Structures are given as structure tokens and as C-alpha cells.
Structure 1
Amino acid sequence: MEPSASARALPRRLLRDPIVVHALQTRSFDAVFAAAKAAGMSFNAIAGATGLKAERISLVARGESRITALDIIERIADGLRIPGAMLGLAARSWESDTDAEPQTAREDESMHRRELLRTSLAAGLTAAPLNHLTDVLARADHALAGAGPADLGRLEAATEQHSYGYGGRAPTDVLADLIADFADVVPLLQRSQPAAARIALTRIMGQLGGMAAVVLHDLGNRREADSWFATAARSAQESGDRTLHAWILARKAMVPLNFGAPHAAAALAEQARHIAGTRPTAAATLAAAVTARAYALAGRRDKADAALRDADHLAGKLPESERADTWFGHCEQKHHVHLSHALTALGETHRARESQAHALALSAPTSTLTRTLLRLDAATCQHRDGHTIDACHAATATLLDVPARYRTGLTRRRAVDLYRSIPADLRTTSAARSLADTLAA
């Protein structure tokens, strides 16, 4: 947004005041407006600079009204000349006399955003970090409708680095870095771009957005994951990359798959298979594997078996370039992870255990999330074979063997599904109660 013609800068000393800085970071405009008035800036002056009514400024300053809309926050930033980074926004157009910001300024803003995200997300997916994620996504959707010279090499390298997964890092740390790099792409798409650069940027946005959605899904935040997958899919479509589009839809199908809606998951996965086509690609193989898991959970054995055969056939024909151990590749370990879940759901415990053993042998010791899910699949196999008490002990031990941050989201859901399948007469046993207590904690 262009700054208001009547823009009037907030007194510069306030931008160095720790209380005001914190208020800006948390978008607590009651404290910002109150500090501005105490510094000699009237509510009428703030209203004139921002285009808001003086009455509303007064209500906000008294804590009787709040400002959360992104367009209003941008008007405040531009009208009062508050640097975008201080409000979690992209650098404003007036922050530089030239179209291109100095590299150091961009790096400082990106680093500030990254640290703010990491700190906020480490404290949990509460309202404040979720608001920031929503703002970044809103600017992305706006940017996809227009777009400048871009350091594509750096962005592509960062995207490739992210694709190698968690690497033993906490999901919240990975999410913070993904969102920060995603946010760096947004202002580039808001400038005029050559066609080739715009295609590359929208593809990068699709990749980063898709990976961020995967992490949000793993953390158990279904609604946010769906929103990020939607923007990622739109980005992939605009870039013309059908393989990326299919991968995003297949990963999106895993949200309803893992949160109790297998029929919806199957529909999404089938859509991904249609877009991917029959060529042996990682995306086509993933889509077939997810389809098999969805039909298995939905009790459609015929369709699950057919999809499993297709997944195995495609996996066997994948060229080496498609077998990379990344989020976008489909390596042997990843294939067995999908087979483990599908075969466990089908009750084919012998074959499921074979896939679990293969996947565990191929998983790095740092793959905490994957290894935990495989161990929970193994516990479910014990339950299906009639050894429910042993299954409860195994599931409880699995959850207690990992840090608390790994007992949420997807892992908790998998363990809850096991507990809910335990017959009522066995839920009074000490083993079942121990599992229930661990889940409650």
C-alpha cells in the first residue's frame, strides 16, 4: 500500500522504547496509541495520518476496541511511518528511496522475522503466532494476483535445504524458518517480474507453502494446514508445475486421512492421481500410496489393494532422481512408512511388520517423528493380533520415549486411535489406564 498523503511519523524515540517495540511486535495498538498521545501526538493527528476515525483511535487506546485486519495494520504502518518489520510486515515502499531495498536491510528484516517466529512458535501455536501465519498467507494470496528482480538462486537453495525435512530439529523451529523464507518471496511477487522469474517464484512459493503445511499438519493444526495447502496449490497451478500440484494435493489428503475423514482423503488423493498422470514420479507414487491408506481406513479393501498395487508398481519404476530422501522425493524408507499404515489398517499385520522393519532400518536416528509413528503402528498390529495389553504397554513406552513436543498432533492422534479401538472391558486394566493417563498428560 502507498503511504497516506497526510502521513505523519510516530516520534522516532518511541520506536526505540522497549515497551512500544513489544507493543508493535504483538500488535497491541492500545499501548501504541496511548504512547503516541503521551508523546504529544493527538488522536486527531493519528486519525489524519492513518485514515481511521478519531473516535476509533480513542476506543483502541482505551482498550475498548482492537485492530486485527491486515489492511488496517498496513495503513497504520504507512501513515505513522512504522517500519514493516516491527509489525511483522514486509518492508514498506517508503522505507527506501529506490525500488530495491539494500541487501542488509532485507536480511535484517528477515532475521528479525525468523527469530520472532521461532520464539513465538516454541511457546506453542497460540493466537499471536497464528495471527502472524495468517497475515503472511493473506499477503501471499494478494501477491499471486501481480510481482521484481529476485535472488532466485538463494531462494531455490533455501527451498532445497528445507526439503530435506526435520533433520532432528523441532517442528516449530522448522516451521519458523519456512514461514520466514516464504514471507521473503511475497514482496518479490508484488513487484513487476519477467514471466520466467514469476513462474520460478510461484513455484518456490508452492514448495515452501506446501512444506509449511506439512509441518502444521504434523503439529496437529488441521485448519492452518488446510489454508496453507490451498495457497500452495494455487501457487503450483499458477507456475504450471503439475507434478508439484499433485504432490501438494496428495499431502493435503493426509490431513483428513490422519484426522478421521478417510472418504474426504480418498477424494483428494484421487484428484492428485489424476493430475500426476501415469508417469512414474514421486508425486504419482505418493498419491497412490495415500489413496491406499485412505481406502484402507474407510474399509474399502478392494480399492485399497488396487491402490497398493499401483503404488508398488510406480515405486519400482521410479528413476533415481525421484527417489531422493526429501519431502518431494519418494525413497524406499518413505514408501514403507506409507505401506506400514495402510497394511496395519487392513489388518495385514505380517506384511505391516515387514514394512515397519524396513522403514526403521532405513530411518535416521534423528527421524523422531517417523520412528514414533512406526512404533505406534507396530503397537496397533499387536492389538489387532489379540495382544491388547502388550499393545498398550508398547504405545505408552513409545510416547514416553520421546520429548513432550513429539506427543502432540499426529503422534497423539495415532495413539488415540489405538486407545479408542480397545474394547471397553479392557480399558479398566492398568496397561490401558496408563496409556490413557499418558495421552491426557
Structure 2
Amino acid sequence: MLEDPSFRHAVRHRDFTTVFAMAHGHGISFNRIGEACGMKAERASKIARGEATVTALDTVERVADGLRIPGALLGLAARPWEHSSPTPHPESDDGDDPMNRRQLLRGALAAGLTTAALTALTDSRESVDLALTADTDPADLSDLEAAAEAYGYGYHGQAPTRVLADLVDDFTGLRPYLAAPQPVATRIRVCRTAGQMAGMIAIVLHDLGARKEARKWFATASTAARESGDRHLHAWVLAREAMVPLNYGAPQAAARLAEQARQVAGSLPSAAATLAAAVAARAYALCHQPEHARQAVQAADALMERLDAAERADTWLTYGEQKHHVHLSHAFTTLGDTLRARQSQQRALELSTPTSTMTRSLLTIDAAGCFHHDGDTEQACRQAVTVLNGLPAAFRTGLVHHRAKDLYRSIPARHHHKAAVDEFRDVLAA
């Protein structure tokens, strides 16, 4: 193709739509183009269709190296491989390059099904057979699966930053399993564990107030969940991700994510489907869509009644009764239905352990919101101040602080001269 005037013109103008389209037209799949250029096959296909572009210098360099386009044609310095033989020996290190592997196989098959060609085919088949059927069930992977289950039980009185450090350390332990060929069943286990751990890391970051980092980790969790084929895990990740915009001032975005989670989870009862409906109820309440909110509450209640005992366990990865009432508390508080809000708050507190610092604080702030809605703003402020002053230092930022600020912002200016409101403002500022 380097001798084709159209191709050279496209290269000189960095017209990668034409470059990728012509490469594909010459029989190179988008999978191979993507693998060679360090991008997903879907992105390579979009570039070829003109739906995506290549502008970053490092991406241009990867395309040059992956497709073996001399640097001078792209306005780059000579690439390192230009100083070596253009046709590497099959046993050289470059033989592992995906583009070279294909060329070598084509060359071997051009002469027919010779011994050399059959050997190349056998090597390719056996390498995949090995990955599919190898009896590898490393004990370390089982340990990491057990660790993910243990993390699901929450903070247990530990500082969020400590839990985060431990989670990230164990998550890193999954990398060797993701990098090496694995049997399909093992790969599913690895991706599922990666999705769970990345999702829980995102939860802790969300609780600490690191919204942008939380979204990045949720994206990683979503990718792993999709690859695992576990749609309930994928729906759980989306529903938990919806809680980031929900709790940090973007309820419409939260509603969209929650509805996406509900669609992925399906209509059958599951922890993920129930969580998604409850989060949707909270989001709609904050969007001032009370009818949608109450419909979502009804759906969540109906699903909750049908959950089996395993799905009702009190963990981050499941959906227990305590968690259900925590969500309903916020939804009903936002809707101004203080009677039902207080009922959910009371039940959630009964089901909370003494070490559930974060949960108990959020429930108490919801209760303060009920006092404010019912007209006792000073009692609301006193209760919120008591919560904030009683929190350990590790819990005074992030989600609890943000929820308290939302309460303060809801207080009309005519109350700002009152001593309790002033004290509330000062504690928040501190």
C-alpha cells in the first residue's frame, strides 16, 4: 500500500479514515488493526468510517509503528524499527507482532498446505487450546475472590482510607491473571472479581468525595463486569455509579444511569434490580418528579419482597433490608413524606450495627431534614451539628458533609439569623 498514491496522500495528510479503510480493504481486520495500534477494534472501525479521529501525537506514533508506516511520511522522526530488517525472521522477537504474524502465516500458506503451513496452523490452534483447557485454578485467585467477598461487608468501623488502600492492593493482584492466557471459566472468574473490587473501590472514593476518581473506577468495573458476562454485576455497577451524580448534585444524570441499570438487570427479582429501582426513586424525587419517584419506590418494594435470602445479605454487593430503608429514607425525606421517611429511618437504625458510622450519620441527617420540612428548622440544625461533631475525622468529609450542606442550602434566608443555623454553618465551614 505504501506504493499506492492514494494511500501515500492520505498518510501525508494524516487522513486516518482513508488509511484504516484501505488497510481493511486489503484484508486486515479491525481486530488486527486495533491490536497493532493499541486501540479497541471498535475504535479502529469508527476511524475507518469517519466517526472518530486520530489527533494525539502518541496515537499517531502507535499507528505508524503498528502499520509500519515510515515516520517521514507522517511528519515524524524515523521510527526505531526503520533501522532494522523490514522482514523479520520468524524466530525473531518481532515475530510476535500481530501484523508480522499474519504476513508470515500468509506466506507459509501461499505454497499450499505444506508441512510448514500445517505446523503454523497447529501452533496457532494449540496455543488457544492451551488457554481454553489448561487446568489452572490458582489458589491465589480463590484468595482474591474470598477477599472481594470480605470487602463487601463494608467498613466495619475502619477508616475509609484504610479500606481503600487494602482494596487497591488486592485489586492489583488480579493483573497477572488478566495479562496471561486463561481458560474461559477462569477468565470469567477473574473479570467478575475485578468488577466487584473496582466497584467497591469506586464506592469508597465516592464516600470520600472523590467524584471524578470514583467515576473512573466505575468505568473499569463496568468493563470487567461486561467481559465476565454477569449482567447482574453489570447492573449493580451502573446502579452504584448512579449514586455519584445522585449524591453530588446531578440527579437527572443519576436517573439516566439508574434506568440503564434497571434495563440491564431485567424484570426478575435481583439485588441489582432492586437497588437500581431504589436509586431511581431517589433521583426522581430530587428532580421534582414525584410520580416517577413513587412508581420507582413501588417497584423497589415489590422486588424486595421477592428477593431470596442470599440476595438480602447485608453487603455492598447484595441488597439487604437495612440498605433498602436507607434508600427509602432519603427518597421519602426528599419527597416531604416525613411519616414514611421516619418509619424507614427507624427500621434502618434498628438493623444497623454500632460500627455503621457512615450509614447512621446519613440517616440522622435525613431525620434532620424531616424536622426542617415539618417546620422545626432549629431542631434540624441542632441534630445535624450533633452528627457532624460526633463523627471521627475520617468521616467528616465526602458524602456525609455534602448531605449536610444540602440540608443547610435548603434553609431559607429568613432563618439564617438564628443561633442554631449560625452554629450549623460554622461547623460546616470548619
Determine the structure 2 residue equivalent to 1:390: 379
CA RMSD of aligned residues (A): 1.4
Are 2:407 and 1:418 aligned?
Answer: yes
Residue identity matched to 2:303: L
1:221-300 to structure 2, matched below 5 A, reads: 221-300=210-289
CA distance in 2 between counterparts of 1:188 and 1:238 reads 14
How many corresponding residue pairs? 296
How far did residue 321 of structure 1 move?
A: 1.2
Determine the structure 1 residue equivalent to 2:114: none
Runs of 4+ in 1 over 3 A off after TM superposition: 147-150
CA distance in 1 between counterparts of 2:317 and 2:181 reads 29
SS of residue paired to 1:330: coil
Determine the structure 2 residue equivalent to 1:60: none
Determine the structure 2 residue equivalent to 1:354: 343
CA distance in 2 between counterparts of 1:317 and 1:194 reads 35
CA distance in 2 between counterparts of 1:186 and 1:179 reads 11
Residue identity matched to 1:392: C
The CA deviation string for residues 358-401 of structure 1, in whole angstroms up to 9 with x for no partner, is 00011000000000000000000000001001111110011111
How far did residue 312 of structure 1 move?
A: 0.3
The CA deviation string for residues 91-142 of structure 1, in whole angstroms up to 9 with x for no partner, is xxxxxxxxxxxxxxxxxxxxxxxxxxxxxxxxxxxxxxxxxxxxxxxxxxxx
Match of 1:304 among 293, 302, 306: 293
Are 2:391 and 1:402 aligned?
Answer: yes
Q: Is the 8 A contact 1:288 1:311 kept in 2?
A: yes
1:135-154 to structure 2, matched below 5 A, reads: 151-154=140-143
How far did residue 149 of structure 1 move?
A: 5.3
How far did residue 292 of structure 1 move?
A: 0.2
CA distance in 2 between counterparts of 1:332 and 1:343 reads 16
Residue identity matched to 1:277: G
Unaligned stretches of 5+ residues in structure 1: 1-70, 72-146
How far did residue 194 of structure 1 move?
A: 1.4
SS of residue paired to 1:175: helix
Q: Is the 8 A contact 1:203 1:241 kept in 2?
A: yes
Residue identity matched to 2:272: A
How far did residue 154 of structure 1 move?
A: 0.8
Q: Which has the larger radius of gyration?
A: 2
1:9-408 to structure 2, matched below 5 A, reads: 151-408=140-397
How far did residue 433 of structure 1 move?
A: 1.0
How far did residue 322 of structure 1 move?
A: 0.5
CA distance in 2 between counterparts of 1:149 and 1:362 reads 38
Q: Is the 8 A contact 1:178 1:212 kept in 2?
A: yes
How far did residue 187 of structure 1 move?
A: 2.3
How far did residue 427 of structure 1 move?
A: 1.1
SS of residue paired to 2:244: helix
How far did residue 152 of structure 1 move?
A: 2.1
Determine the structure 2 residue equivalent to 1:122: none
Residue identity matched to 2:192: R
Q: Is the 8 A contact 1:333 1:362 kept in 2?
A: yes
SS of residue paired to 1:418: helix
How far did residue 330 of structure 1 move?
A: 1.0
Determine the structure 2 residue equivalent to 1:427: 416
Q: Percent identity?
A: 60
TM-score by length of 1: 0.66
CA distance in 2 between counterparts of 1:404 and 1:396 reads 14
